[in-house]
Structure 1
Amino acid sequence: MSEVVFNEQAFYNHLGGDRELATEILKVYMVDAPARTESLAEAVKNGDQVLAVKYSHALKGISATIRANAIALLAEKIEMCSRKGDLDKAKHLMPKVFLELDAVLTAVRKHLTT
């Protein structure tokens, strides 16, 4: 797991400092990222290459948006493995995704309550 799981400063800089927009995006992330991660895990488990690519790509995008770089990179690795049909490798990366997601959600939750 990475030390900086959610780079708040980079996220706010990307949004031009718009705190209202940032809060909306973070609230969506709190719901969307876990759902996409669960869908990704199910796709990988079931050997569904098309859905694994779809959900890993989506998780990568939403995580990169909030500057949760470690989970975005993990999702990108899973996307590349899935595109190549290597779902066994993708399956081995999923526990790291869940750990990183927990850390990101904790950081975002803490940020939203301060």
Structure 2
Amino acid sequence: MACEFFNEQAFFDHLSGDRELGAEILNVYLTDAPARLRALSEATKTNNQNLIIKYSHALKGISATIRAEKIAEIAEDIELAARQNHLEKVNEYLPDIEKILEKTLKVLRNYLEM
């Protein structure tokens, strides 16, 4: 099931096809990704550049791991903007990443229910 929010084939290829391990990782992502996005959002409210970099980098990493490529790309854009101290640009990305994460989580939940 390759879709724009989750590249299942690439994810399981990376895990040598281990479906049980994949399900465990996806379940962790369902909890971890929203928590990291909340932390990122809080950091943007205080313009804390270091925390914005930290949480966007973490969200990028966990999203890349499960091959949620859209989330990883936007998180990387946020991280780069923060590193360049373009915090107003960071705020422009937040609504997009929130919407895409919501859609990604829905896809993952549906996948895990199969």
Q: Give TM-score, length-normalised by structure 1.
A: 0.96
Matched, 1:103 2:100: no
Matched, 1:13 2:16: no
Which amino acid counterpart does residue 22 of structure 1 have in structure 2? Answer: G
- The structure 1 segments of at least 4 consecutive aligned residues displaced by more than 6 Å after TM superposition are none
The root-mean-square deviation of aligned C-alpha atoms, in Å, is 0.7
Deviation at 1:46, TM superposition (A): 1.0
Which amino acid counterpart does residue 55 of structure 2 have in structure 1? Answer: Y
How many residues in Structure 1 have an aligned counterpart in Structure 2?
112
CA offset digits 1:45-103 (Å, max 9, x no partner): 21000000000000000000010001100000000011111111000100000011001
| Mapping for residues 14-93 of structure 1, pairs under 5 Å | 14-93=14-93
In structure 2, what is the Cα distance between the partners aligned to 1:97 and 1:4?
14
Which amino acid counterpart does residue 29 of structure 1 have in structure 2? Answer: Y
In structure 2, what is the Cα distance between the partners aligned to 1:71 and 1:104?
8
Deviation at 1:4, TM superposition (A): 1.1
Return 5+ residue gaps in structure 1 as ranges. Answer: none
Which structure carries more relative contact order (alpha carbon 8 Å, separation 6+)?
1
Q: What percent identity do the matched residue pairs reach? A: 52
Return 5+ residue gaps in structure 2 as ranges. Answer: none
In structure 2, what is the Cα distance between the partners aligned to 1:57 and 1:107?
22
In structure 2, what is the Cα distance between the partners aligned to 1:42 and 1:96?
16
Which amino acid counterpart does residue 96 of structure 1 have in structure 2? Answer: D
Deviation at 1:44, TM superposition (A): 1.2
Deviation at 1:107, TM superposition (A): 0.4
